[in-house]
Amino acid sequence: MVGECRALGVVVVVTVLAHLADSDPGLESSGGNMSELDPEPSIDPSTPRRVRAFAGTTVFMPCIVNNLGQRSVSWVRHHDIHVLTVGRFTFTSDGRFEAHHDDGSNEWLLRLRSPAISDSGIYECQINTKPTITHLTTLHVLEPHAVVTAGRELFLDTGSTLRLTCRVRDAPAPAEHLLWYHEKKETRKGTEEVEVSVWEEKHSTISSLTLRDAQVDDSGLYTCSPSNAKPASIMVHVLSGEQSAAMQTSAASRCVLCRASRTPTHVYPTPLPCLLLLLASFLLGGRLPMFVLFLLPVVTLGVFMQLAS
């Protein structure tokens, strides 16, 4: 009920603002008088239904309208039913949104500067006809970020070779540079121990760090920091011989406990009740109550299953 009232309120607001568009030159869509012979406005099929943007850039969401005449185009944010623009005017306190239209063009653009992930969602283009003509556009904002493929934590033995790979994802262009840090200190390139390589693959930046003969002092937080994306970190543990043996013993113990916990335990009737029933049968001359006769095969089956296990 609340949603219907909010939607009705938006229709009323858009209708009032559209009425102003018919009288205010700043909101007017195009010249000429409307007549019964004028074709009805329509939204061109080429208007996209999905728009992808990158955080921090500028994105345009187009609404391509044919035969607009004296009608007006509005943009409404769907999740809170907020009127953003009507005609050439912007009706929001969020200065990142702005209406944009060039004279003679049939494109009515909603411009959004520095979009964030939270701006993702559905935006509605409306023409103030009766009934209202609408078109929904889904905005998907991507945030460039780095990913270390080994995960968040890595264990290796002393003397092993440490190899880390970092990929930059959801970036509009390759990174200008990419740096590796060990405990907030930049790793040195081209030394005998450390090698850092950076290359591009399918418009994405990839980097690898190789550290030979890793020692306990090489443990710590390693961070991949691209110039155009959020950094990613991984905690590296270089274990001494005693630490490695202790971890293996602990892991083996946990494995045994896990197997033991997964081993099913079956509880079957013991042979004693069966033997007692047989003894009672002999003492009574083979005469037993009917329910006992029904239970005897079940108990016997339980005995055999117990012996089989």
- Residue 19: what pLDDT? 47
Q: What is the pLDDT of residue 265?
A: 45
Secondary element (H or E) of residue 99: strand 97-100
Residue 268 near residue 305, CB atoms below 8 Å? yes
CA 147 to chain centre: 14
State the Cα–Cα distance between residues 98 and 60, nearest whole angstrom. Answer: 10
Q: Among candidates 231, 238, 236, which has minimal Cα distance to 180?
A: 231
What tokens appear for 25 in the block? 């030159």
Residue 17: what pLDDT?
Answer: 47
The 3-state DSSP class for residue 77 equals: strand
Which pLDDT score is estimated for 202? 83
Burial of 300 (0-12, 13-18, 19+ CB in 10 A): middle
Which pLDDT belongs to residue 73? 97
Angle, in degrees to the nearest 10, between helices 271-283 and 290-308: 140
**Cα dihedral across residues 177, 180, 183, 189: positive or negative:** negative
Give the per-residue pLDDT at 38: 73
The CA distance from 186 to 3, in Å, is 54
Distance in angstroms between the alpha carbons of the first and the last residue of the chain? 64
- Return d(Cα 138, Cα 123) in angstroms, integer: 6
Position 269 scores a pLDDT of 47
Contact 303, 269 (CB under 8 A): yes
Structure confidence at residue 166 (pLDDT): 97
Structure tokens at 128: 């103030």
Q: What is the C-alpha separation between 300 and 309, in angstroms, rounded?
A: 15
pLDDT per residue of the chain (309 residues) written in tens, 0 to 9: 444 444 444 444 444 444 444 444 444 444 444 445 678 999 999 999 999 999 999 999 999 999 999 899 999 999 999 999 999 999 999 999 999 999 999 999 999 999 999 999 999 999 999 999 999 999 999 999 999 999 999 999 999 999 999 999 999 999 999 999 999 899 876 566 789 999 998 888 999 999 999 999 999 999 999 999 999 999 999 998 766 655 655 544 554 444 544 545 444 445 555 555 555 555 555 555 555 555 556 555 665 565 555
